[in-house]
Amino acid sequence: MPEFATLFRRCAVLMLEAQERISYQPQDLIAGRLVPRVHTQWMALAPHLGEAIALEAAEIDALARCSSSQWLPVHELGIAAETIDALCAKGLLLTQQPGDAAAQRDDILRGMHWKGLSAVAHLFSRWRGVDARAAERHLAAQGMALPADTPPPSVEASAVAPALALPQPADSALEQLLLARTTCRNYADAPLRADQLGHVLQRSFGARASGAFAAGLTLLKKGVPSAGGLHPVEALLLLRKVDGLACGLYRYHPVEHTLLLQQTLPQSEADALALRFVAGQEYFAGAPVLLALTARFQRNFWKYREHAKAWRAVILDAGHLSQTLYLAATELQLGAFITAAVNEADIEQAFGLDPLQHGVIAVCGCGIPARPDEVEFDPLGRAAGRPPSPA
């Protein structure tokens, strides 16, 4: 039992997942019998730890006896000393001892006002060191590039209601911009100019105005909507090739319209980091600028405390920003992309982020388009800035 510990409580957020493993005994296989043996392992999902923890039945029962809000003395818990030791070592049962790292992380989580289910979904859907392209190539080699069944139709047909024709809208500059918008997977080995980068950042992330809404609360007017006008999603940049700017990590200041240098990087390291950020997707890693859409959760959760919709609203913010970035890039005849297949934990490490407080939602990028080597979906042939194919 932890030394000098007299009071205990369970961590703030804890959910259990049943993981099932099927195995076969060698003697059954030798005898020609295919008899599956099913083993169920209960796993603890606690956001303050960020990794799944295997539990024994006695530990599950012990956790059910503990309070997550009240500090209780050991004699009120009715739990065996060895079980208390095990749960403290796993970071699920907390003490008031100085230096209890799990308790300190739990305090941060409590102070952030996360909705528990949202915190679990966010922390346990992050990747580290994943190579998505390698996984795709492996599936393709096994003949499993696509699921065997057919997908749902692109548009769900109405079974009963009659179709009422609507007038077609007139052509406009916005329509032409939308026609040219596409996801670019092919980037020229050429730098962006600083004015091009500034244009894209200001159009998508920049504040047009700011003002005091209430005591201590300043709201920003941007070109995109945000829940409560709070705009928690920021742009953290990895610059590979921008004229006049060093390779490295930057943060964009949306009010001052400035880049704040976090760390310079050698070109080779910037290139390797770009590939890691986008989980091995070489076609995106070739963009000269990558932007991690990163949420300051407290900015939203300060108002929407333990709110079931708060995390969803933050993700919607990232969607608004990415579409605006696409249009801003298209306006300059640049290509753009967004991907959620990213190694969030690697991005957090590079920028020194705590995932309980700052969450990577997706990665965007932009650059000068090149002739397609990777397949792109451009059925109208209108992609912005695309060089003509050789005759």
DSSP 179-214: HH--B---B-S-PBPHHHHHHHHHHHH-EEEEEEEE
Rounded-to-integer distance, Cα 89 and Cα 54, Å: 12
Kindly list the structural domains of the chain, giving each domain's residue range(s) and its CATH number in brackets, ordered by start: 7-112 (no CATH), 133-142+175-367 (3.40.109.10)
Type of residue found at 315:
I
What residues have CB less than 8 Å from 327, skipping those under 6 apart?
177, 178, 181, 203
User: For the residues 144-168, what does the mean pLDDT come to?
Assistant: 81
Residue 379 confidence class, pLDDT cut points 50, 70, 90: confident
User: For the residues 287-301, what does the mean pLDDT come to?
Assistant: 98
**How much is the pLDDT for 2?**
63
Alpha helices of 258-296 — where are they, by DSSP H?
Answer: 267-277, 282-285
- Window from 16-30, 215-229, 249-263 with minimum mean pLDDT: 16-30
Q: What six digits make up the tokens of 52? A: 């799944």
**What mean pLDDT, rounded, does the chain reach?**
92
Q: Is the pLDDT of residue 10 over 90?
A: yes
Tell me if the pTM is above 0.75. Answer: yes
